[in-house]
Structure 1
Amino acid sequence: MTDSEALDLDFVQLGGTGIQTSELQFGTWRFGKETEEGNVEIDEDRAYELLDAYADAGGRYIDTADVYGRGKAEEWIGNWLADRQRERFTVASKIYWQIRDGDPNSRGTNRKNIRHRVDEILDRLDTDYIDVLYIHRWDDQTDAREMMKTLNGLVEAGKVHYLGASTLRPNAWKVAKANQIAKSEGWEPFTVLQPRYNLVDREIEGDYLEMARQENLAVCPWSPLGQGFLTGKYSRDEGLTGESRAVESSRFEESYLTEENFDLHDELDAVADEVDATPAQTALAWLSHRDGVTAPIVGARTIEQLDENLSAAAIDLSDEQVERLTEAKGGPYAGL
């Protein structure tokens, strides 16, 4: 029996949708992803193993996008689901990024692109419907009313159950505007949000989270471990060295490997020791304890990494520990 089989993830309410979601969602952005050297980060066999481990732990929410692995992620999820009860799983996908060179209409949220992309997603997933369809980015070239009308048509056709908006930080007003249009027309609004949020990246605190709370929108953060920084794999003294320098960008180094963030990590390490957990598990536990957060999205390259991340669901932080971690960032985010 694997460690995953010993876990038992709970369900939480997915905002105002009325459905339940796993307290930790599984992200598949590395499925089929090719490195610059031509290697695949997670191949098909490993993808099935990871999906098995997540399901064994009681996980039921699978997050993907039509550009992950250039469609391979959705194909593999569809193959995996073929041997299971589709209704037991919530599957979310996303649309936006350009998929055909030289064709500007294969990008964004225009009606032509949305309808075509959704039909292709359904074919790859080999399913009749998508539980949650996210717009992967905001398309300033498409009128919000046009977009919401098109998305509503997908819901009415039964191809999509719920609508989500991913990575709109910190533009809460764009979501609010789109939902106001949808509600005034009797259309389906956005009910699920997917921003970047972790102990380091705190830009959604304030108006964004408050808007989500007021409107009863689910908040399912991506990058809960700050692109790996919060796992403890980087050293204050060494920074990016060897293999990590070849993988990570200078932008990562400038954004994460700062004195302020390493000071935060010192506090994270201290709390992790107190609760007998890893820094990654403690960072995930902090996020799950944040008011307004529904369910973080976790990913992993190996079964061991997935087991570690999913085990964070069993960690209970005290109010004092949550506050210490919150205050460790300092600046305008402290105390929010």
Structure 2
Amino acid sequence: MQHRAVGHTGLKVSRLGLGTLTWGRDTDEHEARDQLIAFAEAGGTLLDTAAGYGDGASEELIGRLVGDVVARDEVVIATKAGISRKTGQRVTNASRGHLLATLDESLKRLGVDHVDLWQVHTWVDDAPLEETLSALDLAVATGRASYVGISNYTGWQTAQAATWQRAVPGRATLASTQVEYSLLNRDVEAEIIPAAQALGLGVLPWSPLGRGVLTGKYRHGTPADSRAASPHFSNFVEHYLTERTAGVVEAVTRAADGLGWTPLQVALVWVRDRTGVTAPIVGARTAAQLQPALAIEDLELPAQLVAALDDVSAY
């Protein structure tokens, strides 16, 4: 698998990342092990998690597998802090004290002395930006993180944070921003991607398959084993089960039929090759579901199909 630099940094990652949102909850250790083996064998290195995934269960599972399934120096571990659901409700906290305490907890769960990429999971209005960003500076200065980034920031928030970090020598410059980006959600193209390019941030798209909808699995209903049927993710997926998105899914399906690919592969290659993108992050419940994503390395969409997909997905 080809590797790309993360923004204007020396950090390089595979151009496809492995998401672990469901690990430790919907994906058990056996399936997670098989996924990580297949990902590593395909040349993948970017392993994405967060302290809030399964209230730490994802990080704990990664901690048991890294060093056993793959060597520590063969993966790029990226985690996030700032969102928690331990109370049963979504709670955000981007204060310096909370972020650094969360990072220390992440390191313990992961069984490592540092992470390769540490990201603020979301913008929080009641946390002073300079305080939030100072946590990133301390993480790098103390060796707990090699690189730092942000996630789910708007265009102006991205520009403000990146500019602040570049304004004074010695601050930890931002390496990346992680944002939702797919044929069903192209909002990032208006401001976030231009800001990232101007300020040297790599873009790591999450949900590049439109929360699973672009695989075509929901064209004729909701499969019992799908995320839309899960109590954890039903509302998350239903947002994209609309008349407009159905038209995009049909276009992706027709393109896949013409190419002899799967709809998943069409949608994923489209995102992977967009301007500014470093590596889309793909999550799967099972190793079998991951295989089509790992098979896209040598695939490239014809320019005419890219233009057609751009047109049908524009809004």
Q: TM-score, normalised by structure 2?
A: 0.92
Contact in 2 for aligned 1:195/1:204 (Cα 8 Å): yes
Task: Give the superposition deviation at 1:228.
Answer: 1.1
Contact in 1 for aligned 2:94/2:120 (Cα 8 Å): yes
Larger mean CA deviation between 67-76 and 241-250 belongs to 241-250
Q: Equivalents in 2 of 1:230, 1:61: separation in Å?
A: 23
1:95 aligns with 2:81: yes
Contact in 2 for aligned 1:275/1:315 (Cα 8 Å): no
1:55 aligns with 2:35: no
Q: Equivalents in 2 of 1:13, 1:26: separation in Å?
A: 17
Task: Give the superposition deviation at 1:208.
Answer: 1.1
Q: Equivalents in 2 of 1:243, 1:156: separation in Å?
A: 45
- Which of 113, 122, 144 is the aligned partner of 1:137? 122
Task: Give the superposition deviation at 1:150.
Answer: 2.1
Aligned AA for 2:52? V
Query: Which residue number corresponds to residue 276 of structure 1?
Result: 260
Q: Equivalents in 1 of 2:30, 2:54: separation in Å?
A: 14
* Superposition RMSD in Å: 2.1
Contact in 2 for aligned 1:239/1:257 (Cα 8 Å): no
| Superimposed CA distance per residue, residues 197-223 of structure 1 (whole angstroms, 9 cap, x where no aligned partner) | 000111111111111111221001000
Contact in 1 for aligned 2:212/2:237 (Cα 8 Å): no
Task: Give the superposition deviation at 1:239.
Answer: 4.2
Matches for 1:1-336 after TM superposition, within 5 Å: 9-33=1-25, 41-83=26-68, 84-98=70-84, 101=87, 107-168=92-153, 171-186=154-169, 187-235=171-219, 238-240=220-222, 246-247=229-230, 249=234, 252-253=237-238, 255-331=239-315
* Paired residue secondary structure (1:128): coil
- The percent identity for this pair of structures is 35
Aligned AA for 1:19? L
Contact in 1 for aligned 2:55/2:84 (Cα 8 Å): no
Distance 1:231 1:98, change over 3 A: closer
Task: Give the superposition deviation at 1:302.
Answer: 1.6
Contact in 2 for aligned 1:225/1:283 (Cα 8 Å): yes
| Superimposed CA distance per residue, residues 17-57 of structure 1 (whole angstroms, 9 cap, x where no aligned partner) | 11211010000000012xxxxxxx11122211211111111
Unaligned runs of 5+ in 2: none
Contact in 2 for aligned 1:65/1:94 (Cα 8 Å): yes
Q: Equivalents in 2 of 1:81, 1:246: separation in Å?
A: 31
Contact in 1 for aligned 2:32/2:286 (Cα 8 Å): no
* Paired residue secondary structure (1:204): helix
Contact in 1 for aligned 2:55/2:86 (Cα 8 Å): no
Contact in 1 for aligned 2:284/2:290 (Cα 8 Å): yes
Distance 1:301 1:214, change over 3 A: same
Q: Equivalents in 2 of 1:256, 1:100: separation in Å?
A: 27
Q: Equivalents in 2 of 1:181, 1:243: separation in Å?
A: 45
Query: Which residue number corresponds to residue 37 of structure 1?
Result: none
Contact in 2 for aligned 1:48/1:76 (Cα 8 Å): no
Please identify the structure whose Cα radius of gyration is greater: 1
* Paired residue secondary structure (1:195): strand
* Paired residue secondary structure (2:252): helix
Task: Give the superposition deviation at 1:193.
Answer: 0.8
Q: Equivalents in 2 of 1:90, 1:230: separation in Å?
A: 27
Distance 1:266 1:101, change over 3 A: closer
Contact in 2 for aligned 1:225/1:284 (Cα 8 Å): yes
Q: Equivalents in 2 of 1:302, 1:246: separation in Å?
A: 16
Q: Equivalents in 2 of 1:45, 1:85: separation in Å?
A: 18
Q: Equivalents in 2 of 1:217, 1:246: separation in Å?
A: 36
Aligned pair count reads: 309
Q: TM-score, normalised by structure 1?
A: 0.86
Contact in 1 for aligned 2:24/2:61 (Cα 8 Å): no
Contact in 2 for aligned 1:167/1:195 (Cα 8 Å): yes
Task: Give the superposition deviation at 1:85.
Answer: 2.6
| Superimposed CA distance per residue, residues 85-120 of structure 1 (whole angstroms, 9 cap, x where no aligned partner) | 312210000101236649x9x851112111211111
Q: Equivalents in 2 of 1:142, 1:172: separation in Å?
A: 18
| Superimposed CA distance per residue, residues 101-144 of structure 1 (whole angstroms, 9 cap, x where no aligned partner) | 49x9x851112111211111111111111111111111111111
* Paired residue secondary structure (2:148): strand
